[in-house]
Each structure stands twice: as structure tokens, then as C-alpha cells.
Amino acid sequence: MRLSAIIHGRVQGVFFRDFTRRQAWALGLTGYVRNLPDGTVEAVAEGPRDALDKFLERLEAGPSGARVDKVDFRWEEHGGEFNLFEVRHR
């Protein structure tokens, strides 16, 4: 499965991308995370549904220092285009 998520709140400048990368690695997911110009963070992850459910829960909690107001997400078909989980810079 693929999870595409946009995280809203105070999520830039609080190590959210690094937190997201570490969570994805721990769960064996592939994909990416990046800051968007509007102040949100985008995360796209692929892997087993149970791992993605845990990942989504962790995104909703965020790291200490962040404030997650909401997470807009959608489930998609696995695309198989990622080899690892990385932080992208735009």
C-alpha cells in the first residue's frame, strides 16, 4: 500500500522531517518526506498496511516541539518506485 499525507500545524523548523524519516526506517517503509511552501509537510510512504497504520499514528503525534493540527491522508496502490525513505528538499 501507499500512504500519502499532508501534515498541518507547527511542523517546519522542529525536526519533523528527520523524525518522519526515522519512524519510516524503523517500520521498514520506503518513500519520502519534504517541506511544502505553504508550511505543511508532505510524507509519502509505501509498505505493509499494518506498518503504514503505525506510521500514520506517529505522524499524527509528531516529535516533541511540533504541534500537529491535522493530517490529511489518502490510501493508494503501491507504486514500487522507492528504494529507501529519504528527506527531499523540495
Residue 35 designated active-site: yes
CATH number of the domain bearing residue 42? 3.30.70.100
Domain that residue 53 falls in: 16-65
Q: What is the pLDDT of residue 10?
A: 97
Q: How far from the centroid of its chain's Cα atoms is residue 12's Cα?
A: 13
1 in a domain, yes or no?
no
Q: Which residue(s) pair with 78 in the sheet?
A: none
Number of structural domains found in the chain: 1
Active site residue 83: no
- 88 is a domain residue: no
Q: Return mean pLDDT, the chain.
A: 97
Q: Cα 86 to the chain's mean position, in Å? A: 10
In a domain, 85, yes or no: no
In-domain check, residue 4: no
| The one catalytic residue among 10, 17, 58, 67 | 17
Confidence of residue 3 (pLDDT cuts 50, 70, 90): very high
Query: Is 44 in a helix, a strand, or coil?
Result: strand
Flag whether pLDDT at 63 surpasses 90: yes
State the pLDDT at residue 82: 96
Q: Is residue 83 part of a domain?
A: no
**Residue of 2, 10, 35, 67 marked active site:** 35
Calculate mean pLDDT across residues 10-35: 97
Residues 89, 34 contacting (CB under 8 angstroms): yes
